[in-house]
Structure 1
Amino acid sequence: METKEGADGPGGPDRGCASFNQDSTSLAVGTQAGYRLFSVTSVDKLDCIHESVDSPEVYIVERLFSSSLVVVVSQAMPRRMNVYHFKKGTEICNYSYSNNILSVKLNRQRLVVCLEESVYIHNIKDMKLLKTLLSTPSNPTGLCALSTNHSNSFLAYPGSATIGEIIIYDANNLSTVTMIPAHDSPLAAITFSSSGTKLASASERGTVIRVFSIPEGLRLFEFRRGMKRYVNISSLSFSPDAQFLCASSNTETVHIFKLEQHGPTGEEECPTWSAYVGKMFSAASSYLPSQVSGMMCQDRAFATVRLQMAGQCNVCTLAIIQKLPRLLVASSDGQLFIYNVDPQDGGECTLVKTHRLFGEDGQQEAGEREGEGEAEGTASPPQPCQSYAATVAMPASAPVPATLTGYSEDGGARKGEVIPEHEFAAGPVCLDDETEFPPINWCRDGSRSGKDKRT
């Protein structure tokens, strides 16, 4: 659920990246000037939760659910990850890596940093480095996905640079689960369902989208986005109940697919013309070439959206807003489109609201800033921020550690590689109650500062 654009990309100098949080209740946008967090729990009103100009040229910004923890990476220092408590305006910690950071994923157990040829897995409660996956296949876009369910932390990343293999890794138990041969071409997009039991993928060709069971890796569904042209799929996202899957690309069309479970006979309860044709295709598949029969068995889009522009990188998500299913599309020109989705009949989705994330002067046009008014009408108020109680706060000016020569997969480094800095917490961290575990300010010598010392 993330898209990135360079400073000179289609979004212009003010647009760097956009990502929805894990439950699609907020949108994070990075720009040349800094980053902003918006609440997307209302259709008519777009609240700016937080704005920061301390980190210019932001190209990665990720928020942990509705908490105050936000991860930021800027083009000015692409090898350093900064973790902030934005509500307090304090830095929790910062890590320096051996190469440019390409993506960051997080849930309530783990924080994953992806470089081109390595992956770092941290314990999010104390930021301790738990595992370093070295010599992973070349991954120049930093493609990876992390499940967000509280009971699992499955990590998915490319298993090959030439074909669409997916490695499923258990980030809780730090072990490889399986390898899924998903596509013939290299991967372009992957995402987990909210429960972590399904994984959707698309290749660089962008014509076929597949859904697999996790952790078994069995193919459950196959959808065809189109046949006439290859496209660059930039975003995949499941609905909260995993009954729908949306896909956006560099074309003007966003597709929504329905994950329908057919009965034992392959018939739906209410047969439709498309279901009848599909049944005829299935009957013919026994004597047709496998490539042709496979194409016939692929389901088409259940619903679609025609954007007003093409050739841009968009990020999409499906969410329940004010008790109705909605499709949200954040475009690389700084707009947020909200559509109504008909979960019964599908078809063309209806545009209900367009928000501009930035005005001509770089200020928010749609909605009001936090604290300037309550939502109008039936708008649901934004979820309260659950503060992340940090136990580590490293100074931003801390020096990068010297090059190490040893090697250990468990947080070590090979020759010539710089491992990230880290400090260990004195105890466990509660993610919901900042009064129980207040932040600790660490001095350069590793001791705690006076006012934050605890017995």
Structure 2
Amino acid sequence: MDCIHRGGESPDVYIAERLFSSSLMVLVSRSTPFRMNIYHFKKSTEICNYSYSSNILAVKLNRQRLIVCLEEALYIHNIKDMKLLKSLLNTPPNPKGLCALSVSLSSSYLAYPGSFTAGEVTLYDALNLNTVTVISAHASHVAAIAFSASGTSLASASERGTVIRVFSVPDGVKLFEFRRGMKSNTETVHIFRLEHHSPSQESPSWSAYMGKMFSAASTYLPSQVSEMMHQDRAFATVRLSVAGVRNIAALSMIQKVLCLLVASLDGHLYIYNIDPQEGGDCPLVKKHRLFDGDDEAELEACGPSYAAAVATCTNPDPASSSALAGYCEDVGVKRGELIPEHEFADGPVCLDDEQEFPPVSFQNS
């Protein structure tokens, strides 16, 4: 784990989004929360900036689109030239800036809360610029949404935080339902398997017999009890060592080992091994200090180098390119000229260069 960039120009940044492994970075600072600045961080060059009517709560990027989320509006930009394509105004109040954007090459779906009073999720086609469907995901407000890497499924959780549901994209049919426990404030990370168990493949064990018996009995029980009996439990679990701070978790293959990465506001990145066959409790194998100070290797590492998990990106000769003149667009009103698409794509960020992005092929596991 090496620091590849450190920016000291904006110490009050609260949003930092990178376009995959490219050098394109979007920053929003607390001093100007209504303005989005887009940089080429390896050249320390600002590409452009946009201003909006209220504070920016979230920014999402993929190969085709850039999404800016305000409390009651969403703006869809073309990633090639940053041109504003669509303004979704008067969306349901979204004070946390909750939204998700799929990363698949073949599609570009946007998901955001579809109601302020119920747990609905609106699925929007950001390529064709039209609403696809509204999913009735939960009884209470939606608190988390995320697409799969292929963009063919969408996971969601409510503010209660005890049930996770997975829906197919684009039709919105419920595929899976998981329960992470009866409480939502435990310091754990739960990992679930997205697979259906076929009754014909189950061994004639006592547990299988009891499972079938409970499943049959659930048809006579109240709907809430029956629903709970059909919810699968976690396949693997991580018990966090630090309580009371925000964490962000992600799965990754590191040196051909399936790992869970947890970045914590305590200033560390924790790496846990996952047994893909047995699951269970996941051991901590590495701990990195993200801020000032040397990295701490407290336990055995997954492999000799964690840098292999990060794709390299080309760095054109700085002397061969000049700084691009920025432009500003205030709530869709242009101020200045748009950056030509060829200048943007071939200049600061080579969007067609596969070395700027992670692999796009997906394998079934």
Determine the structure 1 residue equivalent to 2:340: 426
Q: Which residue of 1 aligns with 2:304?
A: 377
Tell me, in whole angstroms, the C-alpha distance in 2 between the residues paired with 1:322 and 1:119. 39
Query: Normalising to structure 2: TM-score of the pair?
Result: 0.86
Contact 2:48 2:328 in 1 (8 A): no
Aligned to 2:178, the other structure's residue is in SS state: strand
Q: Does 1:341 align with 2:274?
A: yes
Using the TM superposition, give the Cα deviation of residue 225 of structure 1 relative to its aligned residue in structure 2, in angstroms: 1.1
The answer on 1:354 being equivalent to 2:274 is no
Alignment of 1:90-239 (within 5 A): 90-227=45-182, 229=183, 231=184
Q: Write the distance in 1 (CA, Å) between the matches of 2:338 and 2:262.
A: 39
One-letter code of the match for 2:190? H
Q: Contact 1:149–1:196 (CA<8 Å) still a contact in 2?
A: yes
- Deviation of 1:425 (Å): 3.5
Task: Please tell me the residue identity of whatever aligns with 1:377.
Answer: P
Q: Aligned partners of 1:436, 1:327: CA distance in 2, in Å?
A: 30
1:123-158 CA-to-partner distances (Å, cap 9, x unmatched) read 010000000000000000000000001111100000
Provide the C-alpha distance between the structure 2 equivalents of 1:49 and 1:296, rounded to a whole number of angstroms. Answer: 48
1:377, distance to aligned residue in structure 2 (A): 3.4
Query: Offset at 1:386?
Result: 4.5
Work out the CA distance in 1 between the residues paired with 2:10 and 2:60: 19
The amino acid of 1:384's aligned partner reads: T
Q: Which residue of 1 aligns with 2:360?
A: none
For 1:258, the equivalent position in structure 2 comes to 193
1:175-221 superposed Cα distances (whole Å, 9 cap, x missing partner): 00000000000010000000000100000011110000000100000
* Identity, % of aligned positions: 62
Task: Give yes or no for contact 1:178–1:216 (8 Å, CA) kept in 2.
Answer: yes
Q: Distance in 2 between matches of 1:128 and 1:118?
A: 17
Once the two structures are superposed, the pairs formed by residues 1-12 of structure 1 within 5 Å of their partners are none
Query: Which AA in structure 2 matches 1:260?
Result: E
| Contact in 1 for aligned 2:114/2:121 (Cα 8 Å) | yes
CA distance in 1, matches of 2:48, 2:242: 40
Q: 1:306 to 1:196 in 2, by over 3 A?
A: same
Does residue 298 of structure 1 match 2:228?
Answer: no
Q: Deviations over 1:388-443 (max 9, x none)?
A: 99999444xx7885xxxxxxxxx75xxxxxx5757424344675886989xxxxxx
Which consecutive residues of structure 2, in runs of 5 or more, have no partner in the other structure?
297-302, 352-365
Aligned positions, number: 343
8 A Cα contact 1:163 1:186, kept in partner: yes
Q: Which amino acid aligns with 1:316?
A: A
SS at the partner of 2:15? strand
Change (3 A) 1:275 1:222: farther
- TM-aligned CA distance change 1:287 to 1:143, over 3 Å: same
TM-aligned CA deviation for residue 384 of structure 1: 1.1
User: 1:340 & 1:354 partners in 2: Cα distance?
Assistant: 12
Task: Tell me the distance in 1 between the aligned counterparts of 2:220 and 2:122.
Answer: 34
Give me the whole-angstrom Cα distance separating, in 2, the residues matched to 1:183 and 1:222.
11
SS in 2 for 1:50: coil
The alignment's C-alpha RMSD in Å is 2.8
Q: How far is the alpha carbon of 1:270 from its aligned partner? A: 5.5
CA distance in 1, matches of 2:150, 2:263: 24
Q: Deviations over 1:302-348 (max 9, x none)?
A: 11011112222111001111111000111111111100001111100
Partner of 2:215: 282
After superposition, residues 17-96 of structure 1 pair within 5 angstroms as 46-96=1-51
What residue in structure 2 maps to residue 365 of structure 1? 294
Query: 3-state DSSP class of the match of 2:156?
Result: strand
> Which of 250, 256, 269 is residue 317 of structure 1 equivalent to?
250
Deviations 1:239-298 (A, max 9, x none): xxxxxxxxxxx53111111112222xx354557776554333211122111111110000
Q: Structure 1 regions of 5+ residues with no counterpart?
A: 1-45, 232-249, 368-375, 402-410, 413-418, 438-455
Q: Is the 8 A contact 1:251 1:311 kept in 2?
A: no
CA, structure 1 residues 220+303, in 2 after alignment: closer, same or farther (shift >3 Å)?
Answer: same
Does the 8 Å CA contact 2:49/2:328 hold for their aligned counterparts?
Answer: no
After superposition, the C-alpha distances for 1:338-381 in whole angstroms (9 at most, x for unaligned) are 000011111000110011112xxxx24218xxxxxxxx836554
Q: Deviation at 1:94?
A: 0.7
When residues 297 and 423 of structure 1 are mapped into structure 2, their CA distance, relative to the original with a 3 A threshold, is farther
Q: Is the CA contact (8 Å cut-off) linking 2:328 and 2:335 kept in structure 1?
A: no
**Offset at residue 385 of structure 1 (A):** 1.6
SS at match of 2:216: helix
Equivalent pair of 1:386/1:431 in contact (CA under 8 Å): no
The separation in 1 between residues aligned to 2:201 and 2:315, in whole angstroms, is: 46
Q: Give the whole-Å Cα distance in 2 for the aligned partners of 1:338 and 1:259.
A: 22
